[in-house]
Structures are given as C-alpha cells and as structure tokens.
Amino acid sequence: MPNPIPRHAESRADAAVPLAARFVGAVRDLDATEIQQIRDEITDPDAVMFILAAMVPDDRTPAELLTWLHRPDEYRRLRQNGVTSSVAEALLARPTATNQAA
C-alpha cells in the first residue's frame, strides 16, 4: 500500500506530532487555558488535523471513544493509577448501579 502522506508533507506531519500530543493531553485534562495556548501555536492546521485523526483508533465507535467525558474525574483517577486508556474507557462504559436504576 502506498504511503498516504505525500513525500513533501511528511516533514509537516512529523512536526505536528508534538503539538497534537500536547493538544490531546490538554483536552483530556479539560484545561481550557492550555487548549487555547496550543491553538494559538498552530501554524499548520491541516497537518495537526491529519495527525490527530491518525491518532484515533479506527476500531471503536465515537461513543466508545468519548465515554471518558461522562466521568472525567474517574477516568483521570484510573489513568493516574496505571490503567490504560482503553481499559479505563471500558470500565467507565460498564453499567453501574446508578446507571441501571435510571
């Protein structure tokens, strides 16, 4: 399969990785100040969008990927205790006694 990134764009994509990774961290931390600071630093939005899309697992639904937003404090607690993001999201997606009563 041919490389989907044209040769001339590879360096642009490579340069966008650190900024995209910081952006993911800021979003996961719900840090509005850091999110805005990173947005102000973006000089190549196409490259950043490409890298962000490439970082998203393609075998999960949007609902699965966004589960952490329903309980961000619990997600952060799990991650800080060494639980991987995919396991933390799966744990958060499981029905709880509160969810079952609703």
Cβ atoms of 60 and 67 within 8 Å: the answer is no
Q: Minimal CA–CA distance to 92: which of 73, 39, 5, 9?
A: 73
Q: Which domain holds residue 39?
A: 1-56
Q: What mean pLDDT do residues 89-94 have?
A: 86
Tell me the pLDDT of the chain averaged across its residues.
86
Cβ atoms of 44 and 16 within 8 Å: the answer is yes
Whether 44 and 86 map to the same domain: the answer is no
| 3-class SS of residue 27 | helix
Q: What mean pLDDT do residues 24-34 have?
A: 93
Whether 5 and 46 map to the same domain: the answer is yes
Whether 7 and 44 map to the same domain: the answer is yes
Q: How far apart are CA 42 and CA 100, in angstroms?
A: 43
Q: How far apart are CA 35 and CA 54, in angstroms?
A: 19
Whether 88 and 99 map to the same domain: the answer is yes
Considering only residues 97 and 40, tell me which one the structure prediction assigns the higher pLDDT. 40
Whole-model pTM?
Answer: 0.75
Report how many domains make up the chain: 2
